[in-house]
Amino acid sequence: MIRLNVPYAEKDEVKKYGARWNAGGKFWFYPGDTLPEELKRWALKGEMPAGAAGTAGTAGTAGTGQPLPLMELLPEQESFLTVSQLSELIRDRYYRDPVLHAFTVRGEVTNLNEKIPQDGSAHLYFSLKDPDALVSCILWKDEVKNALAAPLKNGQMVSLKGALDYFPGQGRTQVRAERIAELGAGGASLALLQLHKKLEREGLFSPEWKKPIPGHPRAVGIVTSRSGQAIQDICKIAARRDPFVQLVLYPVTVQGKNAAASIVKGIRVLDAYGVDTIIVGRGGGSEEELNAYNDEAVVRAVFAARTPVISAVGHAGNWTLIDFAADKRVATPSEAAEEAVPDVMTERRRLQSLTRELSSLFRNQLLQKKRRLDVQRTALETWHPRRLLEKRKTRYDYLREKMTAAVQAVLQREVTRYQQQTSALNAGIRAVYERKKHRFELNVARLHGLSPTAKLVKGFGYISLAGVPLTSTAQAKPGDLITVRIHDGELEAGVTKVRRETNE
310, 230 in Cβ contact below 8 A? no
Confidence of residue 343 (pLDDT cuts 50, 70, 90): confident
Write down the number of H helices and E strands in the chain: 12, 17
Res. 212 pLDDT band, cuts 50 70 90? very high
Res 381 pLDDT > 50: yes
Q: Quick one: CA dihedral 278, 283, 286, 288, positive or negative?
A: negative
Q: Mean pLDDT over all residues of the chain?
A: 82
Report the run of H or E that residue 181 belongs to, with start and end. Answer: strand 172-185
pTM of this prediction? 0.44
The DSSP secondary structure of 389-451, one letter per residue, reads: HHHHHHHHHHHHHHHHHHHHHHHHHHHHHHHHHHHHHHHHHHHHHHHHHHHHHHHHHHHHHH-
The DSSP bridge pattern shows strands 219-224 and 277-282 to be parallel
Q: Is residue 9 scored above 50 in pLDDT? A: yes
104: buried, middle or exposed (CB in 10 Å: 19+, 13-18, 0-12)? exposed
CA separation for the pair 101, 94 (Å, rounded): 8
Residue 57, pLDDT score: 32
Q: 306, 107, 114, 280: which is closest to 209 by C-alpha?
A: 306
Q: Which residue has the higher pLDDT, 169 or 129?
A: 129
pLDDT at residue 85 in the model = 79
Is pLDDT of 351 > 90? no
pLDDT interval class at 318 (50, 70, 90): low
Mean of pLDDT values over 38-64: 48
Query: What is the pLDDT averaged over residues 462-480?
Result: 86
11 three-state secondary structure: helix
User: Is the distance from CB of 493 to CB of 484 less than 8 angstroms?
Assistant: yes
To 10 degrees, what angle do helices 259-273 and 296-304 make? 10
For residue 159, give the amino acid letter. S
Sorted by sequence, the CB contacts under 8 Å of residue 164 that are 6+ apart come out as 94, 100, 101, 103, 173, 174, 175, 176
Mean pLDDT of 265-286: 89
Helix-helix angle 229-241:344-382, to 10 degrees:
10
Cβ-Cβ contacts under 8 Å for 44 (sequence gap 6 or more): 3, 4, 5, 88, 92
**Of 139-148, 212-221, 360-369, 450-459, which range is least confident?**
450-459
Model confidence at 455: pLDDT above 80: no
Cα 25 to Cα 27: distance, rounded to the nearest angstrom: 6
Of the candidate ranges 88-97, 132-141, 171-180, 222-231, the one whose mean pLDDT is the lowest: 88-97
What sign results for the dihedral spanned by CA atoms 187, 189, 192, 198? negative
Q: Percent of the chain, pLDDT > 70?
A: 87
Q: Which of 82-96, 252-266, 298-312 has the lowest mean pLDDT?
A: 82-96
Cα separation of 493 and 471, whole Å?
16
- pLDDT of 60 over the 50 cut: no
DSSP state of 43: B
More confident residue, 94 or 453: 94
Torsion of CA 297, 298, 303, 309, to 10 degrees: 170
Residue 197 pLDDT greater than 90, yes or no: no
